[in-house]
Amino acid sequence: MNTFLQKVFGVNWTTNIPATGFSACATLETFDLLPESYKKYALAFCAFMIAAGLFAAKSANVSNSSHPSDAKIIS
């Protein structure tokens, strides 16, 4: 499953999936493509996608460094 998701959404698929969901939701809301009865659900979905994306970004220590190391305090 991870291989498929990585092919479709890239290496950072855990954050790209919520970003794609939020983008779709925001586009529908911005261009007023949803009926009025669905707007509260779209707002809730957008908020959930933001929260899921932030959680996914915090859940992994991802670095683009070729030699990642622990964070250090600089004084």
More confident residue, 71 or 51: 51
Looking at residue 66, the DSSP 8-state letter turns out to be S
Contact (Cβ atoms closer than 8 angstroms) between residue 25 and residue 46: yes
Burial annotation 36-64 (CB, 10 A radius, 16+ → b, else e): eeeeeebeebbeebbebbeebeeeeeeee
Domain boundaries, the chain: 2-59
pLDDT, one tens digit per residue, over 7-17 is: 888 877 888 88
Query: Model pTM greater than 0.85?
Result: no
What pLDDT is stored for residue 60 in this prediction? Answer: 58
For 26-59, how does the pLDDT look when each residue is reduced to its tens digit (9 = 90+)?
Answer: 899 889 998 999 989 988 999 999 999 888 876 6
